[in-house]
Amino acid sequence: MNHLTQWLLLVLTLPTDNATARMRYWRALKAKGCAVLRDGVYLLPDEESAGVEMTEMSEGISQAGGTSYLLRFGSRDSAQDSEFQLLFDRSDDYGTLRRSLDETRKTLTSLTPAEITKLLRKTRKEFEAIAGIDFFPNEASVRAQSAWQDFVAAADAVLSPGEPHQADGRIKLVKRADYQGRVWATRRKLWVDRVASAWLVRRFIDGEARFLWLATPEDCPENAVGFDFDGATFSHINDRVTFEVLAASFGIEDEPGMAGLSSMVHSLDVGGVTVPEAAGFEAVMTGASQRGLSDDALLTEMSPTLDSLLAHFAAQEKAAAKRRR
């Protein structure tokens, strides 16, 4: 026997003279993904978080001078279950998003890095908003996920031509003594991972490092230490970005503050858990790029910021250690 869905049913009325409250609750119900059975009757799959939120909404409606009843019930049979589930079909929303992504993708090469970054945040928010209320995913969600990933890849290709792919392998410890006074080469038009990696090299690995900014990875000289491109000496391994690989390779991971700084760089480069400082660093990087700084000037400008962030994360670690004692 097929498992039948359990539902929440909210029946409400609001004072006709309180337009503000009516609009507020209408928007809130829409944001939660409720299906409308008729005016004032809303349906939602019964999940733990939804039950808490709908209970709070019901109480708020009463406080606003309205009336509300929150009911729980199960589908009568599989036919009714399918009928109700169909009310939550997000295929049209996903289709609209896919068409928007296709059109926007055509404009990427004409946009500035800051505009592309803003677009990525906007479209990610739009995709996550639909996925967050897609209670019964189907093929449309798979196609939308694929379209979103293709869009991100296209944007990354414009922002960072030659962006490295993740390689499987083991990170090997190396000796700093073997990497002194070297030429270090990476792709030009620095962004977060590359500027942070160059800073890490100069501060902790090779104080006399000279940097070469490459138009393409193929331009890397044989005697240079390449980083952050496919085939480079140091690049992405497993789930670690180049900054993290360098820190692990040279035994720098345990430096005070390095864990927090690594988390920030990782989240800005490939996503994941975001630290509060990431938005500020990204804003500074974007602003520096908009001023048209050369890669050498950008590294010079961002290095004190990275110094300060390292000290900040180190202080956080120290305070956390004190609290644990």
Residue-wise pLDDT tens digits, 234-284:
999 998 999 999 999 999 999 999 999 999 999 888 877 778 999 899 889
Using the predicted structure, report yes or no on whether residue 1 has a pLDDT greater than 60: no
Instruction: Provide the mean pLDDT of the chain.
Output: 91
Distance between start and end Cα atoms, the chain: 55
**Helical (H) or strand (E) element with 211:** strand 210-214
Q: Domain-by-domain residue ranges, the chain? A: 6-86, 91-159, 176-324
pLDDT tens for 52-78 read 889 999 998 988 889 999 999 999 999
Instruction: Return d(Cα 16, Cα 14) in angstroms, integer.
Output: 6
pLDDT tens figures, 6-17: 999 999 998 888
Q: What CATH number does the domain located at 6-86 have?
A: 3.30.70.1130
Using CA atoms, how far apart are residues 265 and 281, in angstroms rounded to an integer? Answer: 9
Q: Is it the case that residue 180 has pLDDT exceeding 90?
A: yes
Query: Per-residue pLDDT for 182 more than 90?
Result: yes
What's this model's pTM, rounded to 2 decimal places? 0.58
Residue-by-residue DSSP string for 111-139: S-HHHHHHHHHHHHHHHHHHHHT-SS--H
Rounded Cα–Cα distance for residues 76 and 80 (Å) = 6
**Selected residue with higher pLDDT from 321 and 247:** 247
Query: Tens of pLDDT along 105-148?
Result: 999 988 887 788 889 889 999 999 999 999 999 999 999 988 88
d(CA 230, CA 48) in angstroms, rounded, equals 45
Higher pLDDT, 25 or 165: 25
